[in-house]
Amino acid sequence: MSGAPNPPESNHVTVKVPRWSQRRRILIVLGLNLVLIVGLVVAGIFAHSVSVLAAAGDTVADCFALMLGLVAIALRDHDPDHPHAQRPIAIAALVNATLLLAVTVTVTIEAISRLREGSPPVEGLPMVIVSLVTVVVMLTGALVLGRSAAGEDLHMRSVLIDALADAAAAAAIAVAGVIILVTNGLYWLDPVLALAVSVLIAIAAIQLIVKAISALRGKAVDFDGD
Q: CATH number for the domain including 205? A: 1.20.1510
- Residue 67 placed within a domain: yes
- Residue 190 placed within a domain: yes
pLDDT of residue 135: 92
Q: Cα-atom radius of gyration of the chain, to the nearest Å?
A: 20
pLDDT of residue 222: 55
Query: 97: closest CA among 209, 222, 196?
Result: 209
- Residue 89 placed within a domain: yes
- 8 A C-beta contact, residue 211 and residue 93: yes
- Residue 15 placed within a domain: no
Which residues of the chain, if any, have pLDDT below 70?
1-20, 76-77, 79-93, 96, 151-155, 208, 215, 218-226
pTM (2 d.p.): 0.65
- Residue 50 placed within a domain: yes
* CA atoms in the 13 A half-sphere facing the CB of 159: 34
Domain count, the chain: 1
- Residue 225 placed within a domain: no
The range of the structural domain enclosing residue 97 comes to: 20-216
Report the alpha-carbon distance of residue 226 to residue 223 in Å, rounded: 7
- Residue 7 placed within a domain: no
pLDDT of residue 220: 59
Q: Cβ contacts of residue 103 below 8 Å, gap of 6+?
A: 57, 60, 201
Helix residue ranges per DSSP H, 50-153: 50-78, 87-117, 124-145, 149-152
Report the alpha-carbon distance of residue 82 to residue 116 in Å, rounded: 53
pLDDT of residue 131: 87
pLDDT of residue 8: 47
- Residue 226 placed within a domain: no
Helix, strand or coil for residue 220?
A: coil
- 8 A C-beta contact, residue 141 and residue 33: yes
